Structure 1
Amino acid sequence: MAQSSCPYAILRTILVYGINGDPNRSNLVLWAKAKLSQKEAIKVVNDQWRMPTFVDDLAHACQLAIERQAQGIFHISGAELMSINEAVYKIADYWKLDKTLISEISAASIGQADNRPRQTGFDLSKSEKELGYVPTTFLKSLEIIDSQFKEFGR
């Protein structure tokens, strides 16, 4: 394999969520909030765990990597490992939405048992040490998203 002498930084991430500029594009938080706000029942896997990444944190990590001329591979995500259904319950709690609309299902029941890992999490220590990366807590990110909804009229 050929080696490149070009400096590089690769930022790896997991399950990105937050406000975006395209109302037709969704993510876990926007999807769950929208469906539950419209009183629609949703099915959520209860046997997959992730460290969701707030999009504002990812953008900030990119900025930090550029400013520090970072080189190498960096893991960028939230610091909290949680199941997908746990994240959705937190979303429902934050916006005071009806949690009885949430049905828990297994990954196998929707054909994801073999093509998605049960648990995806990162060791953030390199990003914290070399970039100064500090992830926003999931609850705090929901507060920020709520203020962004109000600011941008969504």
Structure 2
Amino acid sequence: NIYFVYISTDFVFGENGPHDEATTPDPLNFYGESKLQAEHLVQLSGLPFAIVRPVFIYGQLFLGMKPTFIHWVQQNLQNGKPIKVVNDQQRTPTFVTDICDGISAIINQKVQGIFHLAGKDIISPYAMALTVARVLGLDSSLIEPVTSETFFEPVKRAKLSVLKIDKAREKLGYNPVSFEEGVKLSFSV
């Protein structure tokens, strides 16, 4: 009994979010294009499958892991370093345990198709940084809001990278935590 679960990305979409599973993908960069090509191969494989599309994953940091965005914010603010964070992009950041729970439900129910496993909050990276500061009692005055044009990005990113999770809620009972609750869980606060 083979059942294939493929982890894709929100990068299969371009602008004009929020996107549901029926939205036609339109990647803005090579990473999104390669993930979309892999999705097509999975769909053509003849195997029972599920494709999972998460967004901006965060969670606890374990030894040897590269820090996620929330840990980068924490480390800089704890060290008194000012940071610049974009406020003209929106995401649905996803707590890693929610993704695991969603994948577990997919496997246990043997459902097939494409599922968006994302967070329930639509929030800018700047607002995420402010939330991290508030939850951890750090100095939010060190966080400066800036536009995307402030940074050179080697790959183009959508400004509104938001995935709708209605299908996952309905079919899987998917119920992600809020971003603030996810931050608290990530730092055991």
TM-score, length of structure 1 as denominator length: 0.88
Amino acid at match of 1:15: F
Q: Which stretches in structure 1 are left out of the alignment for 5+ residues?
A: 150-154
Amino acid at match of 1:18: G
Which whole-Å CA distance do the structure 2 matches of 1:125 and 1:4 have between them? 27
> Could you report, residue by residue, the CA deviation over 1:24-68 in whole angstroms, capped at 9, with x for unpaired residues?
411111111111111111111111110000011111111111111
What letter is aligned with 1:123?
K
Are the counterparts in 2 of residues 107 and 113 from structure 1 also a CA contact under 8 Å? Answer: no
SS of the equivalent of 2:115 reads: strand
Aligned to 1:43: 84
Q: Partner residue of 1:73?
A: 114
Residue number among 57, 60, 80 corresponding to 2:101 in the alignment: 60
% same residue: 29
Q: 5+ residue gaps in structure 2? A: 1-39
Distance 1:128 1:42 in 2: 35
CA contact (8 A) 2:89 2:124 kept: yes
Q: Name the count of aligned residue pairs.
A: 148
Pair 1:14-2:73 in alignment:
no
1:90 and 2:153 are equivalent in the alignment: no
SS at match of 1:25: coil
- The aligned residue for residue 126 of structure 1 is 167
**RMSD of aligned residue pairs (Cα, Å):** 1.9
